[in-house]
C-alpha cells in the first residue's frame, strides 16, 4: 500500500531526474516518502524531514542517511529562512495541526516563488468495509473517523476532502485536486484494511464502540474473507499546487 501511495506522490510532483531540489517533508514519519523520492531526483538535492515523533525520526534516519531531520512539534513557525524550498510535501499530517492557517502562511513563506506544494490525506469517512451488517460497518467507520488518538493535537476524519478549500481558499496557492483510491480484497495482517480494523480496539477502550460490536465487526470481516467476498477501500485526496 505505502509503495503505491508514495509512488503516487512522487509521480504527481513530476520532478526532473537530473535536477537538484530542496524538498521539505512535513510530518515525514518513518521517511518512506523521502526514500521513494531520493532515487528519482539529482544527487545534490537537499531532503529535509520534519517530524514530532522521536521513534519515527530514528527509523527515518536509518532509511534516508543523506537526509536532514528535525524532531519538533509545529507551533506557529517553521525553522527555515524565506524561500528555502522548491517543494513542500505533507502526507497524512494536517488533521493533527491546530493552527492550520499559521502553517499555510509558513508554507508560503518558505517556498520559493512558483514552488510546489503537495498535500495528501486519507479521508477516513471514505473507508468501505463490505460486511453483512451495514449499520455496524457504518458505525465502525464513523467511530474510527472521529477517533482522536493520544498523540494527536487535533483530529479530523474528513481532512482529505478539505485540502482543496484549505489551500485554494486563501489565495496563497493555485493548483488542482486529485485522488488515490486504495482497494484491497485480502483480509490478513499487513493489509491496510486489516490493520485499521485492529486499530479499532483503541476506539473500544475509549468507549466509542462496544466490545461486543467490535467482536461482531471482526467476525463478519473474517466470514467475508472465508467466503472470498472481502472488500476494503479508502480514498486519499490530493492537493497539488504552486505558491502564488
pLDDT in tens, the chain (244 residues): 678 999 999 999 999 998 999 999 999 999 999 999 999 999 999 999 999 999 999 999 999 999 999 999 999 999 999 999 999 999 999 999 999 999 999 999 999 999 999 999 999 999 999 999 999 999 999 999 999 988 888 999 999 999 999 999 989 999 999 999 999 999 999 999 999 999 999 988 888 889 999 999 999 999 999 999 999 999 999 999 999 9
**pLDDT score, position 138:** 96
**pLDDT score, position 50:** 98
Q: Which long-range contacts (CB under 8 A, 24 or more apart) does 144-152 make?
A: 144/196, 144/199, 144/200, 144/203, 146/208, 147/202, 147/203, 147/206, 147/208, 149/202, 151/53, 152/95, 152/96
**pLDDT score, position 80:** 98
**pLDDT score, position 150:** 85
Phi, psi (deg, nearest 5) at residue 93: -130, -30
Residue ranges of domains in the chain, CATH in brackets: 2-243 (3.40.50.150)
Amino acid at each position: 500500500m505505502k509503495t503505491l501511495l508514495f509512488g503516487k506522490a512522487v509521480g504527481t510532483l513530476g520532478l526532473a531526474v537530473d535536477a537538484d531540489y530542496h524538498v521539505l517533508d512535513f510530518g515525514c514519519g518513518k521517511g518512506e516518502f523521502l526514500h521513494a523520492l531520493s532515487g528519482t531526483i539529482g544527487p545534490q538535492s537537499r531532503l529535509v524531514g520534519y517530524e514530532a515523533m522521536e521513534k519515527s525520526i530514528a527509523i527515518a534516519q536509518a532509511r534516508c542517511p543523506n537526509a536532514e531531520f528535525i524532531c519538533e512539534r509545529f507551533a506557529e513557525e517553521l525553522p527555515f529562512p524565506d524561500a528555502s524550498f522548491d517543494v513542500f510535501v505533507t502526507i497524512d499530517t494536517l488533521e493533527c495541526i491546530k493552527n492550520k492557517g499559521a502553517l499555510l502562511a509558513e508554507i508560503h513563506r518558505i517556498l520559493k516563488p512558483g514552488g510546489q506544494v503537495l498535500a495528501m490525506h486519507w479521508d477516513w469517512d471514505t473507508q468501505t468495509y463490505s460486511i453483512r451488517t451495514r449499520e455496524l460497518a457504518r458505525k465502525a467507520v464513523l467511530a474510527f473517523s472521529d477517533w482522536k488518538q493520544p498523540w494527536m493535537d487535533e483530529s479530523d476524519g474528513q481532512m482529505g476532502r478539505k485540502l482543496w478549500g484549505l489551500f485554494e481558499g486563501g489565495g496563497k496557492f493555485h493548483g488542482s485536486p486529485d485522488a488515490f483510491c486504495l482497494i484491497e480484497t485480502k483480509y490478513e495482517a499487513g493489509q491496510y484494511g486489516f490493520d485499521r480494523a485492529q486499530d479499532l480496539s483503541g476506539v473500544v477502550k475509549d468507549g466509542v464502540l462496544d466490545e461486543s460490536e467490535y467482536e461482531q465487526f471482526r467476525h463478519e470481516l473474517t466470514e467475508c474473507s472465508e467466503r472470498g467476498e472481502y472488500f476494503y477501500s479508502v480514498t486519499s485526496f490530493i492537493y497539488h499546487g504552486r505558491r502564488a
